[in-house]
Amino acid sequence: MDTRAIVEPSPGILDPAARVASVDIVIPVLNEERALPGCVRTLTRYLDGGFPLPWRVTIVDNGSTDATWPLARALAGELENVHARRLDVRGRGAALRAAWQDSPADVVAYMDVDLSTGLGALFPLVASVASGHSELAVGTRLAHGARIRRSLRREVVSRGYNALLRYGFGVRFSDAQCGFKAVRADVARPLMGKVEDDSWFFDTELLLLAEHNGLRVHEVPVDWIEDADSRVDVVRTAVDDLRGLARVAWSMALGRAEVEVARPEPEPEHPDAVTLGPRAATMARFTSFAAIGTFSVILYALTYLLLRESWSPAAANLCALVLAGIVNVEANRRWTFGPRAAPRFSALAFFSTATYGLFTLLRLSRTRK
C-alpha cells in the first residue's frame, strides 16, 4: 500500500483574478498609409490568439501628410483595444515620449510598423519586464541565436555603430537600434526626463542612460527581415547618432546623467541566510581598487621599459601612461565601481593624459630653446 501523502495545489496558485501586468504596444508612424492596416491587423490577430497579458495597441501618427491618420482613426474605431493619437511634431522619439508618458499600462513597448521583427519574440521581450526581473528589454539582431536578412550596407553600419557603443561606452547590450523594445512604465518616465533626442537617437540615449544608472537591460534574440520600403535615411541617421553620442558622453562626464529610479536593493530570499555586511563589501571594493592599481603600475613600467629602447623618454612615458590609464579605467568600471562611474573616470583619464601631454610638449620646447 502506498502511504505517501498526496498534496493538492492551493487554488490561489492558479487564481485567474491575480493581478498581472498590462502592456501598451506603441506603433509610431509617419506617412505609412501602405503599411499601417496590415501591421495593426496582423498584430491584433496575433495578440487575440493567446497573448497572456492584458494589452493595448496605440498608433501614434506624428505629422503624416498622407492618409495615415484617417486610417489610424478607422482602425481604432473598428478594432477593440486599438487606440490612436496624433502629434504635430515629427520624430520617433517624440511619438514614443508622448505615448509612454500618458500610457496607463504597467509596461510600455514599441515596434516598427513594417513588422520586420518576428512577433514570436514579443512575449519573451515583455515577460522579463512584466515579471520585475528587468527594467528594460530589447530585441537584438546581433546576439547568438538571432536570424536576420538585410543588406550589406545596413549590416556594416549597424555592427560598426554598436561596436562604437560597446567599446566607447562599455555597454553590455549588443543592439541599440532594433525597433523592438519594452520598458517598465515607472522607469521609462524618469528616464525620458533626461532623454533630449526626439528622433532616431532616442532609443540609444534611453539605453545608455539606463545602463549608466545601473538598470538591468534584458536582450531577446529576434528574427528580423529588412523592409526595402523603410523610411530610414541610414547615412543621415548615423551622423545624427554620432552627434548624440558625443552629447551623452559629455553629459555623463559632468555627472548630469543620473536618474532617480525606484529600484530596491537585492535582499536574501532565505529567512536564515547569513550575508556580508556593508563593511565587508567596502573592503572588497578597496581590495579590488588596490589590486587594479598595482597591476596598472606594473603595466606602465613594463610598457615604458619596452618602448624606451626605440622611442624618446617623453614619447614612451606618454604611451605607457595612456595604456595603463585605459586598462585601469576599464578594469575599475567592470569590477570596482560599476558602469555609472566609467564615464567620469574616462573623462578624468583623458583630461589627465591631455594635460600631461601638453606639459611634456611645453617642457620639450623650452629645453630646445
- Residues with a catalytic annotation lie at 203
> Which residue do the cell numbers 529600484 mark?
263
Instruction: Find out whether 345 and 329 touch, Cβ atoms under 8 Å.
Output: yes
Cell of 339: 558602469
Residue type, 148: I
Cell of 9: 495545489
Q: 348 phi and psi, to 5 degrees?
A: -65, -40
Residue type, 342: A
> Which residue do the cell numbers 487575440 mark?
48
Cell of 326: 585605459
> How far apart (Å, rounded) are the C-alpha atoms in residues 299 and 320?
8
